[in-house]
Amino acid sequence: MTDIYDFQVKTIDGQTQPLAEYRGQALLVVNVASHCGFTPQYTGLEALYRRHRDQGFAVLGFPCDQFLNQEPGDESEIKNFCSLKYDVTFPLFAKVKVNGGNTAPLYDYLKSARRGLFWTRSIKWNFTKFLIDRAGHVVRRYSPRAKPEQIEQDLAKLLADGD
């Protein structure tokens, strides 16, 4: 695999979707959870998405239940929660594992492309974010503490480079 567009993922509605459908867009890939201290970041993620989607940007949310079972529901419950509580309109996908033996191939790629603090590969918590350029390459990894509005400056540079 050479870029993010080589992967296929399952949508929150159970459909297989090639990430190649996002070719040419800047992306922010986030492992999300509904019962986490960082869950209010859905508001900032949605605002970022709405501000920049017409410029070729998408947030891709991947629910994950690997951190203290903070995403216990099934896909339907997750989708309803995100829609009703945070008015999420950015794409959501089926639950994934981001660490361990059953790690989703996309997350193996992301973690190899951009390591975390002290060069670790593992995802430490929910709401770890990966910024992807329009060519499908991972350009930055952000900790769960990085709020979506803190990413906007980096995103603006990527979007300006694509004009």
Taken as a whole, the chain contains a residue count of 163
What are the residues facing 92 on neighbouring strands?
Answer: 61
How far is residue 32's CA from residue 38's CA, in Å, rounded to a whole number?
A: 9
Q: Structure pTM?
A: 0.94
Catalytic residue, candidates 27, 29, 36, 159: 36
Active site annotation includes 36: yes
On the question of pLDDT at 102 being above 90, the answer is: yes
Q: How confident is the model at residue 113 (pLDDT cuts 50, 70, 90)?
A: confident
Note the pLDDT tens digit of each residue in 56-100.
999 999 999 999 999 999 999 999 999 999 999 999 999 999 999
Give percent of the chain with pLDDT exceeding 70: 93
Inter-residue contact 65 to 31 (CB < 8 Å): no
Which runs of E-coded beta strand occur in the chain?
8-10, 16-18, 26-32, 57-63, 129-132, 138-142
**CA distances, 62 to each of 10, 144, 146 (Å):** 10, 14, 17
- What local confidence, expressed as pLDDT, does residue 122 receive? 79
Q: Domain spans of the chain? A: 4-161
Beta strand pairing status for 26-32 and 57-63?
A: parallel
What is the third-level CATH fold of 4-161?
Answer: Glutaredoxin (3.40.30)
